[in-house]
Amino acid sequence: MTEKADQATEEAAAWLIALEEEPGDAALLARFQSWLHAAPDNRRAWTDMAEIYDLMGRLPPAHADLWQKAYRPALPSPVGIPWRRPARRVARMAMGFVLLVLVGFTIPQAELYLRADYTTGIAEIRAVTLPDGSIARLGPRAALEQVTQADDRHFRLLRGQAFFEVTRNPAHPFRVEGKYGLVTVLGTAFELGTGAAQDRVAVRQGKVSFAPQAADQDASSPLVPGDWVSLDAVGNRASGRDAPEDVAAWLNGRIVVRDRPLAEVVQALGDYYPGLILLGDADLAVKRVTGSYNTADPVSALRALVGAHGGTVHSLSPLLLILS
C-alpha cells in the first residue's frame, strides 16, 4: 500500500469509531461526507473498513450470554455495503483491535511459549536435536515441550506442526502428545499437527500408533506410510491416505491438501503471514479444496485459494487481510 492509502485506512478507522460514537451528529456526518469524497483512496479505505465492521459483527464476543442488548448505530453506507451493525461495545472493541493491528501491535501467546522448550517464529522452520538423538523439524509458530526432564522420549506439541525422525529404541517408545491424541512409536518418521479443533498425524515411514490420550495405545491399529488420521476433542476420528512423499510438504515450501476445508488451509498459510487474516464468510470457509500452495508467498497463495471459489483478498495494510 502507498503512504496515502495507509493514511486513508487509519482515517477511515477513526471515522468509523467517531460515527459509531455520535451517530446523530449532523455536523460530524457532513465532515465525514466531505472527507469521503475528497480522494479515491478515502472511498476505497471506507469500503474496506465497512467490510471489517461487517465481519467483526459476525463474530460473537466471549461469554455472549453475559452481554446486554446494546444500542446499534445506523452508520452511513455511502458505498452500498449492507451493514450488520454489531452492538456498540462489540464494534468499539473490534475497531480498537483493528487499529492496534494497523500499527503493528501483536499479542504473543506468552504462556504457551514460556512452557515450551523449542519454538519457532513466523515462516520459520527449525530442526532441533532432541535429548535422545531424534530430530524434530518444527513448522512456523510451533511450540514443543519436553513433558518431564526424566523422560527424554516424551514430548507435547503445544502449537503448530512438527515432523519427527525418531531414533529407534524398542525398549523405550517415543511419545508425542497433541491437544487430543497421543502418538506412540519405536522408530519412524511422521508428522503431527495440532490446532484448536483437532490433532492430525501423517506417516512417511515406519508404523505409528495414534489414539485419544486416555485410550489404550497398544489396542489402536497402527498407521503405515501414507496414512493420516485426525482426532478432535470429543474423539471423532477421520482418516485417509496420501502419497508418503507429500507428508510434511511444508518442509519443501509447499502446503499440499486434498479435499480439506478452505478455512484449514487459510489457517496453515497464516503461519507464514506476519499479520492478521480474517475469514468471516461461513460459506467460503467450508468449501472443500485440493491443491498445492507456495508458503514463500502466502498472499498470492491466499488469492489463488479463495479466487477459485469466487472470493477476494483485501489487503488493508501489511498486517491485515480480509477474505470475502
Return the C-alpha cell found at 284.
467460503
Does pLDDT of 42 surpass 90? Answer: no
Confidence grade of residue 317 (pLDDT, cut at 50, 70, 90)? low
Helix locations, 3-87, DSSP H: 3-21, 26-36, 40-57
Does pLDDT of 273 surpass 70? Answer: yes
Task: Tell me where in the chain the CATH 3.55.50.30 domain(s) lie.
Answer: 253-323
100 contact partners, CB below 8 Å, separation of at least 6: none
Give 170-212 pLDDT, tens digit per residue. Answer: 899 999 999 999 999 988 999 999 987 889 999 999 999 999 8
Q: Across the strands, what pairs with 136?
A: 128, 164
Q: How far apart are CA 7 and CA 3, in angstroms?
A: 6
Q: How far apart are CA 320 and CA 274, in angstroms?
A: 9
Task: Tell me where in the chain the CATH 2.60.120.1440 domain(s) lie.
Answer: 110-244
Average pLDDT, the chain: 80
Residue of 225, 223, 232, 245 lying closest to 193 (CA atoms):
232
Domain 253-323 part of CATH 3.55.50.30: yes
Q: Which of 63-77, 271-285, 297-311 has the lowest mean pLDDT?
A: 63-77
Does pLDDT of 66 surpass 50? Answer: no
Give 224-237 pLDDT, tens digit per residue. Answer: 999 999 998 888 89
Q: How far apart are CA 79 and CA 40, in angstroms?
A: 12
Beta 151-165 vs 174-177: how paired, if at all? parallel
Output the pTM of the full model. Answer: 0.71
Does pLDDT of 83 surpass 50? Answer: no
Class of 110-244 in CATH: mainly beta
